[in-house]
Structures are given as C-alpha cells and as structure tokens.
Amino acid sequence: MTIQEIFFYLFSIIMLAAATMVISVRNPVYAILYLILTFFSAAALWILLEAEFLGIILVLVYVGAVMVLFLFVVMMLNISQSRVSEGFVKNLPLGIGVALVMLAEVLMVLWYKNQTGIDNYPIPVPHEQGYSNTAEIGERLFTAYLWQFEIAGVVLLVAIVAAVALSMREREGVKSQSVPQQISADKRDRLELVDMPVEGVEKN
Amino acid sequence: MDAILEFAWLLFRIVLFTLLPLILLVAYYTYAERKVIGAMQSRIGPNRVGPLGLFQPFADVIKLLLKEIILPKEANRYLFLIAPILAIAPAFGVWAVVPVGDGLVWADLNAGVLYILALSSMGVYGIILAGWASNSKYALLGAMRAAAQMVSYEIALGFSLLGVMILAGSLNLQAIVNAQSGGMLDWYWLPLLPMFLIFFISALAETNRAPFDMAEGESEIVAGFHVDYAGASFAVFFLAEYANMILMSALTAIFFFGGWLSPFEGWAFLGDSWLRDSSIFWFLAKLIFFMFNFLWIRATFPRYRYDQVMRLGWKIFIPIAMVWMLVAALFVFNGIVVRGA
C-alpha cells in the first residue's frame, strides 16, 4: 500500500464510523460533533483527490459556519434526549425505503460501468507539481460556466433577500434602540448645569 | 523506517522553529501586556520576579500548571477537557502556511489564504464547547456571544482579504508578499486602507480582545466561557488567545504591510544599507508593532455594547468591504495598481 492508500482508508474508516455515530448517538450535541468529524474526513478525502479547493471550502463553509449555527440552535433548544429517539420506529420504514433507493442507484452505476467494461476507465493520472485546483476551478467558472455561475449567484441573492424579508417584522411591545437617535444625542438637550452655593463648608 | 525517521526529524524541527518560539513569544507577550498597560495607566507592572520582573511569565506558568484542574460536578467531562485543545489546535495549525521570511514556510500552499480562513474558523468550537460543557449560565452566555460574534466577523475578515486577493492575483502567501515589493508605498495598506482597518478591527473581534471581549465580559458575565476552568486547562485557553493575537498580527503584516519586505526597498539614496534588505527582521518588527497595537487598543477603549458590535460588523464593515472590493478591481482594471507586481 502506498501512503496515499493508507491515508485514504484511514480517513474513510473515520468518516464512516463518525457518520454512523451521527445517527446512533443519543445526545444531539454529540451528533453534531460527529457530523463535523464526518465533514472533516470528507474534506481530507477530497484533498487526497487533488481537489484542495473543495476540501478547504467544505471546512470553511460547513464546519466553520453552518455547523456553528447548528450547535448554537441545539444548545439553545436543550432537546430532551428521550424525544430524539421517539420517532425512530415510526420513521424506520421510510428511512429504509430511502436507503434502498440510494443503494439501487449505486448498484445501477456499478452495473452500467461493468457493461462497458471497468477496464475502459483509465486510472486517473496525478497532476504534475504546481497544479493549482483553485486556479483551475476559477478559470472554468468564469469562462465556460459563467452563465450558470451568475445564475447561481442570483438565486443565492434571492434567498438572502427572502430570509431578511421574512425575519424583518415589526413586533408590538418590544423596546429596541434607535441607532440614529442614539448617535444624535446631544448633551445640550439632556444636561442642565445649575449654579448653587457651596454647602457644608464653614468659613473660618 | 526511513520515512518514520524523516517524519520525526520534521516534527522536531517544527517544534524547535515554530512551536517553541511561539510559546516563548506568548509568555513574554503576557509580560509585555502587563508592563505596557501598566505604563499607560501610570503603574509599574510586574517587577518582583527576577530583574525588571522578567521571570514573571515563568512564575505564572508554574503556578497555573501546579494548580488543580477542577471538573465541575454537572459538567460534561469529555467535552470540558477537549474544548481547550480544540481552541489551541487551529491557532498553531495556521502557522504551517505563514511565511516568516523569503521561503521560510513549512507548507507553501497555493490556496494558503483559504487554508487560513478555514482553520481559523475552527477556533470558535473550543469556546462554544467550553461554554456548553461547563453547564453554567455565565459560561453558556459567553459561548453564545462568542459564537455569534466570531461567525459574524469572519465574514468581514474574509471580505477584507478579497481586495488583497484581487491586487495580488494569488492565494499563495509568499506570492502575496512578493506582489507588494518596492517599498512601503507599494504595500497594500495604501490602496486598501479601508480594508486594512476592517481587517485589523475584525481581527480584534475574532480573537475576542478588548473592545470586543464580550465573550469574557468580566463585568457582566464574570469570565464568560472559561469561568469554570482552572489550572492547566485555563492556561491552554490563555495560550490560545495570545497565540491567536500573534497570528492575527502576523497576518496583518503579511497581507497589508509586505511581510518580510523592507519598507525602504526602493530608496536608492540610502545606499547599500542593511535597512534596504528584506529579511526576517522586518517581519518581526512589523509583528511586534501590531502585537503592541492589540495592547494599546485594550488600554484605550471601553467595551462595546453587544448590539453595537453586531451592527458594526454586519451593517458597516461588510458593505464597506464590498464597495472597496469593486474599487480594488477598478484599480487593477485601470492599471493604477499592477496586479501581482
């Protein structure tokens, strides 16, 4: 085994074990931590495949931001541990169904590949030193797939605007600061200096 | 066998040239902090242990290590002990791609900036988990504040680096430094002045330092996320905070102040002076300057109110950074700044 293979199996085992723990562990905070470990191992596998941009972005976006908010919400909700496993039996048939569909899809791909002969697919050659996956992706996105990239950007922008619009509502009976009012506060409107004789000091 | 030996030798060099100097720097950073803030408040600062109090950091370390690690009864003991490790690992891991001199870097990554952003975004887990695992209300409040604040300012931090990426045309840190060569007027602080200010202020917020130390907020939530930590486990959090400050100072020097480049590079009238040579000396000088700024700001400004911290990050820094990104693109487009040179 080459060193790459050792690392591949190491990260794969960690990833599969962590993914199993995500759905089997009882404490939701632990489940999220295992999910983070799963993402991290997936990122490591991508980096082994010379897709360092995707790997780093996975850590940056999912581990660094999305999962922090997940953790935030789970800690705030304080979900009781018995309620997490409540729907397990009820949803089991549905879960098995989805899993079977996914398994069938994987098998179909393998079957199709076998039809044309697995030998027809050459082993991918590693890129030469100095190959930059990041630059490559940037070049493709801004030349060949510019339209798709821009449309994806607009879709995300619409999602941002929608999220802001949904959460921006005037609530009754809530006190909140008005920043312009605070900034324009002036001591002349609020402070009054009053002259008064000195008290409590006796003249000698 | 050879591979293992080679690996051990690499590990030894990493410890000798990066880890040890970093930890020593942290130790004397705490000493400098007390001396500098003491001077700013007309006090003397530590002066009892050794000449001028120079052995004070070691006394502190020994004290912290010999103290008992207290595990609160209702705390989640695994996460409680893992949290400090999760806080310090990213702070050290990022140094793998930070060049301290020409070619003096462990891993010369093409996607170095992304690696830095990804790893430093991991630092928040140590704080959140510490706050949650302590199972105390002050710690949880501190963790919540830290989580919201660090995720928000990460965006401003990332946006302020976009200008650097546009001007340098690279994500490689050595390439970014080399793109700034030519003297201090060619460094990126000048064309990207608003970005530099946003970066440094966001760095203060990312490291949870005053005036953004809401996560600790000793006057309202005691000590925030690390209120239940004692002894060595507290020392690790302390180490992580200062290591992060040093890291942010190094990054500011690299992204906006030309890293190891000499400020007088293009000044021909200086002759063959050593001042014109780029070397690790200049990197250290810039590093120490920005480290000093962290202390200076702490001694100067009172703590921000929490809603104002959020407003500053989301409503002021991010829009300014977006606009200045366009300005940076126009600089390159019109040839005012030559990309990558």
Given this model, what pLDDT does residue A179 score?
A: 80
Residue A169: DSSP 8-state: -
| Alpha-carbon torsion, ordered B25, B30, B36, B42, to 10 deg | -160
* Residues 6 or more apart whose Cβ sits within 8 Å of residue B124: A64, A68, B146, B147, B150, B151
Rounded alpha-carbon distances, angstroms, from residue B18 to A180, B97, B261, B281, B306: 48, 11, 20, 16, 36
pLDDT (tens place) for every residue of chain B, 341 residues total:
677 888 888 888 888 888 899 989 998 999 999 999 999 999 988 888 888 888 888 998 898 889 888 888 877 888 888 889 988 999 898 988 888 888 788 888 888 898 898 888 888 888 888 888 888 888 888 888 888 888 888 889 989 998 898 888 888 888 888 888 877 788 888 888 999 999 999 999 888 887 888 777 777 777 778 888 888 888 898 888 899 999 999 999 999 988 888 887 777 776 677 767 777 888 899 999 999 999 999 889 888 888 888 888 888 899 999 999 999 889 888 887 777 66
Which of B120, B150, B171 should be substituted to probe chain A, the one whose Cβ sees the most A Cβ atoms within 10 Å?
B171
Alpha-carbon distance A65 to nearest alpha carbon in chain B (angstroms) = 6
Spell out which residues of chain B touch residue A69, defining contact as CB-CB under 8 Å: 151
Given this model, what pLDDT does residue A81 score?
A: 58
Our measurement of the distance from residue B280's CA atom to the centroid of its chain's CA atoms, rounded to an integer in Å, reads 18
CATH number at residue A11: 1.20.120.1200
Spell out which residues of chain B touch residue A29, defining contact as CB-CB under 8 Å: 79, 132
- What pTM, to 2 d.p., does this model score? 0.84
3-state helix vs strand vs coil in chain B, percent to 5? 70, 0, 30
| Cβ(B328)–Cβ(B166) below 8 Å | yes
Q: What total number of domains does chain A contain?
A: 2
> How many Å apart are CA B120 and CA B209, to the nearest integer?
15
* Residues 6 or more apart whose Cβ sits within 8 Å of residue A16: none
Q: Which of A33, A52, A65 sits opposite B151 (nearest CB)?
A: A65
Closest CA to B309 of B202, B216, B157, B161: B202
pLDDT band for position A120 (cuts 50, 70, 90): low
Residue in B with minimal Cα distance to A177: B307
Q: Is B22 part of the contact surface with chain A (CB cutoff 8 Å)?
A: no
| Average pLDDT value for residue range A159-179 | 83
Helices B318-333 and B193-206 sit at what angle, rounded to 10 degrees?
140
* Pairs of CB atoms within 8 A across A/B: 69
Given this model, what pLDDT does residue A84 score?
A: 58
> How many Å apart are CA B74 and CA B27, to the nearest integer?
33
Task: Give the count of beta carbons closer than 10 Å to the beta carbon of residue B104.
Answer: 13
Supply B118's token pair: 């990804």
**Does residue A52 fall inside a structural domain?**
yes
Closest CA to B312 of B205, B220, B174, B171: B205
**Does residue A175 fall inside a structural domain?**
no
Spell out which residues of chain B touch residue A72, defining contact as CB-CB under 8 Å: 128, 144, 147-148
Boundary residue ending a domain (A39, A60, A81): A81
| Contact: A64, B110; criterion CB under 8 Å | no
Given this model, what pLDDT does residue B68 score?
A: 84
Our measurement of the distance from residue B108's CA atom to the centroid of its chain's CA atoms, rounded to an integer in Å, reads 20
Q: Print the domain residue range for A156.
A: 131-166
pLDDT band for position A116 (cuts 50, 70, 90): low
* Residues 6 or more apart whose Cβ sits within 8 Å of residue B239: B23, B26, B88
Residue A85 pLDDT exceeds 70:
no
| Contact: B118, A60; criterion CB under 8 Å | yes
| Contact: B143, A36; criterion CB under 8 Å | no
Residue in B with minimal Cα distance to A75: B132
Comparing A4 with B20, the larger pLDDT belongs to B20
> How many Å apart are CA A77 and CA B105, to the nearest integer?
44
**Does residue A94 fall inside a structural domain?**
no
Boundary residue ending a domain (A11, A46, A81): A81
| Contact: B110, A56; criterion CB under 8 Å | no
Are A70 and A136 in the same domain? no
Alpha-carbon distance B237 to nearest alpha carbon in chain A (angstroms) = 19
| Average pLDDT value for residue range A21-38 | 87
Residue A82 pLDDT exceeds 60:
no
Residue A37 pLDDT exceeds 60:
yes
Spell out which residues of chain B touch residue A33, defining contact as CB-CB under 8 Å: 79, 129
Q: Is B215 part of the contact surface with chain A (CB cutoff 8 Å)?
A: no
- Lowest-confidence region among A30-34, A128-132, B97-101, B111-115: A128-132
Q: Which of A29, A56, A71 sits opposite B118 (nearest CB)?
A: A56
Alpha-carbon distance B234 to nearest alpha carbon in chain A (angstroms) = 22
Residue type, B258: G
**Does residue A62 fall inside a structural domain?**
yes
Residue type, A181: Q
Alpha-carbon distance A30 to nearest alpha carbon in chain B (angstroms) = 9
> How many Å apart are CA B99 and CA B102, to the nearest integer?
7
Alpha-carbon distance A134 to nearest alpha carbon in chain B (angstroms) = 7
Q: Which of B115, B128, B307 sits opposite A68 (nearest CB)?
A: B128
- Lowest-confidence region among A43-52, A80-89, B77-86: A80-89
Residue in A with minimal Cα distance to B4: A3
Alpha-carbon distance B52 to nearest alpha carbon in chain A (angstroms) = 43
Given this model, what pLDDT does residue A126 score?
A: 74
| Cβ(B120)–Cβ(B90) below 8 Å | yes
Closest CA to B155 of B128, B189, B120, B129: B120
Q: Which of B79, B110, B118 sits opposite A132 (nearest CB)?
A: B110
| Average pLDDT value for residue range A74-99 | 75
Q: Is B118 part of the contact surface with chain A (CB cutoff 8 Å)?
A: yes
Q: Which of B79, B111, B129 sits opposite A53 (nearest CB)?
A: B111
| Contact: B121, A60; criterion CB under 8 Å | yes
Comparing A124 with A194, the larger pLDDT belongs to A194
Spell out which residues of chain B touch residue A71, defining contact as CB-CB under 8 Å: 125, 128, 132, 147
**Does residue A107 fall inside a structural domain?**
no
Which of A1, A35, A75 should be substituted to probe chain B, the one whose Cβ sees the most B Cβ atoms within 10 Å?
A75
Given this model, what pLDDT does residue B289 score?
A: 92
Given this model, what pLDDT does residue B296 score?
A: 92
**Does residue A14 fall inside a structural domain?**
yes
Boundary residue ending a domain (A81, A113, A147): A81
Q: Which of A3, A56, A63 sits opposite B114 (nearest CB)?
A: A56
Alpha-carbon distance B205 to nearest alpha carbon in chain A (angstroms) = 16
**Does residue A112 fall inside a structural domain?**
no
| Cβ(B146)–Cβ(B221) below 8 Å | no
Supply B170's token pair: 């690279």
pLDDT band for position A78 (cuts 50, 70, 90): low
Residue type, B175: A
**Residue-averaged pLDDT of chain A:** 83
**Does residue A180 fall inside a structural domain?**
no
B272-331 residues touching A, CB cutoff 8 A: 307, 311
Given this model, what pLDDT does residue B288 score?
A: 92
Q: Which of B111, B118, B147 sits opposite A68 (nearest CB)?
A: B147
> How many Å apart are CA B161 and CA B197, to the nearest integer?
11
Q: Which of A64, A76, A135 sits opposite B118 (nearest CB)?
A: A64
Angle at B181 between CA B176 and CA B183, to 5 degrees: 135
